[in-house]
Chain A
């Protein structure tokens, strides 16, 4: 019988069945459930598949590359912005190539359901010059993990696996394959493969360039990439990944009247696309994310060919696609009988009742009440909701780790008091190095680590910081007299305000660890035990 699996779970099961020896990841919506599934899988436990969270996406990619170096298969998973953090090892893994198969899953979030931007990971694939897979449904996702590992091992290259929120978080019945065994330990044959000294790197780069043709040929032979003819040649459609399903939804299980090229692997097949361009008057490009294919088709000079898509305005420039948007881009009529009545009010997410961040913010707000130029540089996590009323407590949220470093830069510029508020998991992800920068100059900033002993925002995964924060801060060289711990509870409010005020008034780096477990994580632990 089919198994009811989320897209993320299909990828996870696909990886287990394709014989991985390890998964490396840092949580991030919509990629988190891949690791979580493998952590719960008996099959993975029996196979001793490595499945612990990494400290950040960069360490995850490097660890996966290490496993690949040793000849075994590894998968590494992150949300799209995670690939920015991991860009260095990612780009250079394209240069070294792999030994055991390696897949990098990057989960994009068009419409920013829970992200700070809408970046399109396919550009990273092109940038690194490696193959990119973009399944159009959950079954393809399952099957293409297996295919991706074969491709990776056949051409000794890492493979980028691009998914988007709807694919990741939609559940459907999946047919599974017979699992295959893991690889045995086997060192790379060429001892220089992984030593990117310039002399070797030049050789590796020429090899990578030489592989580009092979990558294109692989795309042409992928069964999931197709050209389907249609009688009406007034329009030719290129549909990438999920967009293919949204397109077909509009024809109710009947074939599309126009010729359609379905893309789920890059570099895309020029054979199919040339054929489409030569037979059709106009081309409509449907792709989730940026106008990646559309821009490549357009090139830099004006062509006579009419290309419609996100650049031309025939498809909205931003936001997630859906069947209705695609129907509109095809000039089909769409119907909606009802409007949202005006009584419906916005209901934004809120911090849970009893959340420790609330007490931390209440203390910060009071401690800074009389300091009219104070600035609070915050970061990414549940505590970012401190930006909303009733707290209105923070002034920035940019990328993971940017709280401490922006506070430092602002302090360098003369802002006082300059305060950073960062979560525990975010701190170990990429706050520690910034704190070291501040320690080196004893910059006058106050860092408040809102330590809820979990990675709350993404569903309560273990945090690498738990029980280590104080040691880390002392180890980085913060003056022990200015590493304070407070318990954010109503009854401690007055005392906490005083501690924060004192540390703000101290001229130098101070750290206040505000420590109380996330109530959701603690409730989950209770339910388990």
Chain B
């Protein structure tokens, strides 16, 4: 088993939390993991991405080769397209459909959606709206992780354990809300027949 994922978004949207949950879940299932993160620039608002590799066998490279990613998991729609050269021909793009507009020349949403729907395998969800159902827009990262989860080889149990570990220093309410967000996302995709 091997799964290579590109995570993308905008600085400040917290893609690191998604990476951490997957990492913790992989460790839980005794899998090898390499997770290359973006650190450094603490200003918010620039494009950020991260390489995440999970495998039952040892992993050589920290970086995913071009055309090798099984999934692009994005918390922002335009950002999901920026890393397409990494995607394998069978790979999935899973993205939040809600744009983060902080540049003057942000493209028309319609053209972004067109590019996404032209791809052989893509799935979009309004993570913010679903997160509000869970109780707070701040859980939208866990929603989008939930949306992707039926396509991940990691089990839902392991991912939920990962969420619990990640938020272990927070109150039980916050943990529960994030688990709920994850499940809402997961059901969204399951509802589409996955």
Contacts and interface: CB of A to CB of B under 8 A. Distances in A.
B87 A173 contact: no
Contact of B81 (A169, A253, A343): A343
Contacts of B102: 347, 350
Contact of A336 (B36, B66, B81): B66
Contacts of A334: 65-67
Given A171-B35, A249-B61, A324-B65, A338 B85 contact: yes
A459 B42 contact: yes
20 contacts: A4-B23, A29-B39, A114-B41, A169-B39, A172-B35, A173-B32, A245-B61, A322-B61, A322-B63, A334-B66, A336-B86, A337-B89, A341-B115, A343-B107, A343-B111, A347-B102, A355-B43, A382-B43, A385-B43, A459-B39
Interface stretch (B44-52, B135-143, B145-153, B180-188): B44-52
Given A1-B27, A335-B67, A343-B78, A457 B41 contact: yes
A33 interface: yes
Contact of B45 (A4, A171, A350, A460): A350
A19 to B, nearest CB: 27
Given A33-B39, A344-B82, 9 more contacts: A113-B38, A323-B60, A338-B119, A343-B78, A347-B45, A350-B102, A352-B12, A459-B39, A520-B42
A114 B82 CA distance: 19
A349 B59 CA distance: 31
A427 interface: no
Interface of B is mostly: loop
B37 interface: yes
B193 interface: no
A170 interface: yes
Residue among B41, B42, B47, B57 with most chain A CB within 10 A: B42
Contacts of B11: 349
Contact of A350 (B44, B59, B65): B44
Interface residues of A, number: 56
The 3 closest A-B pairs by CB, nearest first: A349-B46, A29-B40, A249-B61
Contacts of B82: 340, 344
Contacts of B81: 340-341, 343-344
Contacts of A459: 39-40, 42
B115 A322 contact: no
Interface of B: 10-12, 19, 23-24, 27, 32-47, 51, 57-67, 78-79, 81-89, 102-103, 105-108, 111-112, 115, 119
Contacts of A89: none
Contacts of B45: 347, 349-350, 352
Residue among A114, A334, A350, A351 with most chain B CB within 10 A: A350
Residue among B58, B81, B111 with most chain A CB within 10 A: B81
Residue among B35, B39, B86, B112 with most chain A CB within 10 A: B39
Contact of B107 (A4, A345, A520): A345
B62 A344 contact: no
Contacts of A30: 39-40
A458 B41 CA distance: 6
Interface in A238-253: 242, 245-246, 248-250, 253
B103 A352 contact: no
A29 B40 CA distance: 5
Nearest to A3: B27
Contacts of B39: 29-30, 32-33, 169, 459
A360 to B, nearest CB: 15
Given A249-B60, A341-B81, A343-B111, A2 B27 contact: yes
Interface in A153-190: 166-167, 169-173
Contact of A171 (B23, B44, B66): B23
Contacts of B79: 347
Contact of B47 (A324, A336, A347, A353): A347
Nearest to A459: B42
Contact of A248 (B60, B85, B89): B60
A337 to B, nearest CB: 4
